């Protein structure tokens, strides 16, 4: 389970970075060259999602919870905005949802 969550976390960073770099170009007026590492990061994101052994739909659903948690960390560490109590509560609910999806017993 820890390996799966770590893989989800790395996947989330790749996705967020792949979206953040074009944001810096479009909204902050930075160089269009940021699109190159942004595209590479999004390709890495797609590849990382393919490494999970379970059904794609289940992976995407569970990944969403981890993505929310990593996005809140990004908000704090990169954007310099401390998440509110409500942000943390919502992130916790999402992570509990991810755990339910990933840890539920499966019938063959």
Write the secondary structure of the chain as one string of H (helix), E (strand) and C (coil).
CHHHHHHHHHHHHHHHHHHHHHHHHHHHCCCHHHHHHHHHHHHHHHHHHCCCCCCHHHHHHHHHHHHHHHHHHHHHHCCCCCCCHHHHHHHHHHHHHHHHHHHCCCCC
87 lies in a domain?
Answer: yes
pLDDT at residue 43, rounded to an integer: 97
42 lies in a domain?
Answer: yes
Is the pLDDT at 69 greater than 70, yes or no?
yes
30 lies in a domain?
Answer: yes
Is the pLDDT at 24 greater than 90, yes or no?
yes
Given the structure tokens 């942004």, which residue do they identify?
A: 38
Domains in the chain: how many in total?
1
Percent of the chain whose predicted confidence (pLDDT) is above 70 = 97
Range(s) of the domain holding residue 13:
2-103
108 lies in a domain?
Answer: no
58 lies in a domain?
Answer: yes
- Average pLDDT on 37-63 reads 87
pTM: 0.81
């Amino acid at each position: 389970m820890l390996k799966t969550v770590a893989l989800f976390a790395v996947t989330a960073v790749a996705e967020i970075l792949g979206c953040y770099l074009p944001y810096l170009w479009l909204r902050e007026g930075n160089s269009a060259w940021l699109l190159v590492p942004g595209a590479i990061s999004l390709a890495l994101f797609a590849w990382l999602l393919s490494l999970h052994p379970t059904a794609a739909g289940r992976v995407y659903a569970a990944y969403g919870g981890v993505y929310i948690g990593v996005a809140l960390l990004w908000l704090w560490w990169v954007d310099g905005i401390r998440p509110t109590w409500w942000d943390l509560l919502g992130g916790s609910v999402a992570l509990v949802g991810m755990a339910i999806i990933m840890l539920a017993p499966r019938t063959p």
